[in-house]
Amino acid sequence: MTLPLRVHNLSKEYKDFSLTDVSFTLKNNSVMGFIGPNGSGKSTTIKLIMNLVKRDSGQIELFGLDNLKDEKRIKQKIGFVFDENHFHETLTVHEMKNVIRGFYDQWDENLFQKYVHDFELPLKKQIKDLSKGMKMKFSLAIALSHNADLLIMDEPTSGLDPLVRSEFIDILKLYVQDKNKSVFFSTHITSDLEKIADQITLIYKGKIIFTRNKDELMAKHCLVRGNPDALDTMGEQMFIGLKKDQHEFVGLAERNDYLENELGNQVSVERATLEDIAVFYIEGVKSHVAFD
């Protein structure tokens, strides 16, 4: 089975920012969370995948096809959700749907109506009168209604309340129950990814820091807190990323027997959230602390 998404050595240069040798692979029937701070290159990467901007070098393959040569064919299989609304504001939900449905060979009107019912979308309302949450739901309904095998979303839950975000996660869980479906979405709300993601890719300043299985990532890392004396004993080199002041240090490390057994009461070892992992990996990059 061909991979839904493969990015290899992707580069793009702007005046004050560059994406450098970005590479990652989305596995079949998996959800990849694409995380990174604002301005790290998430949206640029997604725009390159969707051919909204032109790459300087590298390869992008979707379903084994080049995203430039086979663009039209590929986009039949992709459902795309933007971070902002770009639909024609003066059209109603129904009218906008009718504009878009004509472009998809496998548009499923029954499926769309099902989402209209589930999301309680007001068909006769103009798009400009929809709330932010409703606009996102409409985008999602469109993306899900043409039997897309891959959902690509750029910060789809940004600015949404926790209830709507929870509904969104439930929808994605249902979507990937089909073995042929995959999801790739960027976000900086890592708590959503802890619930749904299979893989995590972290990007910072245009470079990929890691692509890892989420459960392994979270199981492998821990947060270590202690006083500066303990840090002198341990050495900073065992930390992926570290923050310290005169009273305390906090660092991200890989779980090991030394930490958990030998240091004993000198430090506290806690579960690291995805947010902790991302923050401290970036901290490590900033301070050039070595990591794998």
Partner 1 sequence: MLHLIKKDFLIQKRNLAVAVAFIVFLNLFAKQGSTFAFVLSVLGVTYILVLGSGDIEQKNDCNIILVSLPIKRSTIVLSKYLSIVIFAILAVVVDLVVQRVIMIFGLPVEAQTIPSEIIVLSLVGAAIYCSVVLPLTYKFNVMTANVAGGALLLLLLGSSDFLLERIPVFLSDSNISDFQIALAVISFAVVIMLISYLISLKLFKDREF
Q: Enumerate binding residues for partner 1 (CB under 8 A).
A: 47, 50-54, 71-76, 80, 82, 85-91, 95, 99-100, 102-104
Q: Kindly state the smallest distance separating residue 96's Cβ from partner 1, in Å.
A: 9
**Closest distance between partner 1 and the C-beta of residue 62, in Å?**
12
Alpha-carbon separation of residue 4 from 30, 120, 168 (angstroms): 9, 31, 21
Return d(Cα 204, Cα 286) in angstroms, integer: 10
**Closest to 222 (Cα-Cα) out of 252, 263, 191, 266:** 252
Q: Which is nearer to partner 1, 68 or 219 (CB)?
A: 68
Q: How far is the CB of 147 from partner 1 (least distance, A)?
A: 13
Please say which residue, 102 or 235, places its beta carbon nearer to partner 1: 102
Name the residue among 76, 80, 66 with its Cα closest to residue 151.
80
Half-sphere CA count of 127, side-chain side, radius 13 A: 19
CB of 18 to partner 1, least distance (A): 15
Burial 234-265 (b: 16+ CB within 10 A, else e): beeebbbbbeeeeeebbbbbeeeeebeeebee
Strand-pairing partners, residue 182, are: 150
Task: For residues 143 and 148, give the distance between their C-alpha atoms in angstroms, rounded to a whole number.
Answer: 7
Query: What is the smallest separation between the CB atom of 80 and partner 1, expressed in angstroms?
Result: 5
Q: In terms of CB distance, is 90 or 256 closer to partner 1? A: 90
| Torsion angle in degrees (nearest 10) through CA of 59, 283, 256, 191 | -70
**Identity of the residue, 85 or 166, whose beta carbon is nearer to partner 1 in the bound complex:** 85
Q: Which lies closer to partner 1 via its Cβ, residue 103 or residue 258? A: 103
From CA 240, how far away is CA 242, in angstroms rounded? 7
* Shortest distance, position 89 Cβ to partner 1, whole Å: 6
Of residues 127 and 193, the one with the C-beta less far from partner 1: 127
Task: Name 1's Cβ contacts closer than 8 Å, sequence gap at least 6.
Answer: 28
* β-bridge pairing 57-62 and 5-13: antiparallel
Alpha carbons 11 and 58: distance in angstroms, whole number: 6
State in angstroms the smallest separation of the CB of 200 from partner 1. 25
> Which residue lies nearer to partner 1 by CB, 61 or 276?
61
